[in-house]
Amino acid sequence: MSSTDEPDAQDAVEEPADQQQLVDIILAEQLHYTNAETAERGGLTVEQAARLWRNLGFPDPGDEKAFGDADVTAVAIVAAAIQNEILDEDTVFRLTRALGQTMSRLADWQVTILVDQLEADIERGKSSSRADAALELAQVSVPGFERLMVHVWRRHLAAAAARLTALGQNDQALLTTELTVGFADMTRFTALSNRLDEAELASVVEDFETRAGDIITSAGARVIKTLGDAMLFVHPDPEHSARISLDLIATIGARPTLPNVRVGLATGSVLSRLGDVFGPPVNLAARLSQVARANRLLVDQATADALGDAFETRPLPPRPIKGFGVLSPINVTERRPFRAR
């Protein structure tokens, strides 16, 4: 080959950063231990370590060197909790399963959001490739967001502990409590999802979750989970729950970029476990939202009985509600003040 056939060094295209570089930056260490070596150094049996990784959401790597010093530290923390009898082994592994499921969803959510940033950086010419943009984001954002994540976790842990202690010392009360459960559901979502492309649909879902979540949390209620086109929330007071629901309807329904919304409320004994809520009020709130018309709030009798004079209630004709037999849903609106002419 002649010299003219050889690429000039200045004209050579720089190799993009590969996947391993990104992993190395995020983990900030080299992986040089097997599962057995990690378990031995951390103080767990191989079986316990394998169970730990499964609970945290990771597959069994076999004899692959897939662990580093931070993993040894993590194993040692779990081992110390078990060996010092701070927590029993079953409780420790239940906690690690909760951590694994939560962090897996959080990581997927964060990466999905960051993809938008990566694309924007490339369009503006800030980065030459997705890989380079991902590396830069990882180097800059991971340390700060790690500290933020721990801080937010502590704040939520304190709030959850406060809710628990407020229930009193009765063991049964610690398992169940009286709550009003709300289920807010976007109408005609299936038809909408068939009409929009993926980016447009993602924008609608995120806009709904953001606006609905802001309304719910700012009013002192708690979002339990989102289901794409729906949001489940709880509040101890039926009147507050009704106001939140009517605010959701007014705010979301007024947005031309969002579908209308309908809300079901039910009040009663609710079991809180694994970051979720269970019980008849949860199921009934979902059923009521499904039979509600667009921009309407339907509630059960228990919720209606607890509402004050600020609301108007109107029982609807009895109808079959799946799992509950024939019920009369109650339509709720805000009472308009009387104005003398």
- Quick one: 159 and 221 in the same domain? no
Quote the number of domains for the chain.
Answer: 2
* Confidence at residue 192, expressed as pLDDT on a 0 to 100 scale: 80
- Quick one: 259 and 308 in the same domain? yes
254 lies in some domain: yes
- Whether the CB-CB separation of 232 and 282 falls below 8 Å is answered with yes
- Quick one: 158 and 178 in the same domain? no
- Whether the CB-CB separation of 234 and 277 falls below 8 Å is answered with yes
- Quick one: 74 and 144 in the same domain? yes
For the chain, give the number of residues.
341
**Which pair of structure tokens corresponds to residue 262?**
């309908």
- Whether the CB-CB separation of 98 and 272 falls below 8 Å is answered with no
* Confidence at residue 168, expressed as pLDDT on a 0 to 100 scale: 55
User: Whole-model pTM?
Assistant: 0.69
- Quick one: 114 and 250 in the same domain? no
CA distance 205 to 272: 26
* Confidence at residue 14, expressed as pLDDT on a 0 to 100 scale: 40
- Quick one: 153 and 96 in the same domain? yes
- Quick one: 235 and 161 in the same domain? no
**Which pair of structure tokens corresponds to residue 250?**
């007014």
* Confidence at residue 11, expressed as pLDDT on a 0 to 100 scale: 41
CA distance 125 to 263: 45
CA distance 145 to 142: 5
3-class DSSP assignment, residue 197? coil
121 lies in some domain: yes
For residue 87, report the phi and psi dihedrals to the nearest 5 degrees: -135, 150
Give me the domain span that covers residue 288: 172-334
Express each pLDDT in 72-128 by its tens digit: 999 999 999 998 887 889 999 989 988 998 888 888 888 877 777 777 777 777 776
* Confidence at residue 223, expressed as pLDDT on a 0 to 100 scale: 92
- Whether the CB-CB separation of 230 and 217 falls below 8 Å is answered with no
Q: Show the low-confidence residues of the chain (pLDDT under 50).
A: 1-17, 169-171
Among residues 149, 166, 183, which one ends one of the domains? 166
- Quick one: 252 and 142 in the same domain? no
330 lies in some domain: yes
10 lies in some domain: no
**Which pair of structure tokens corresponds to residue 15?**
């190799």
- Quick one: 153 and 190 in the same domain? no
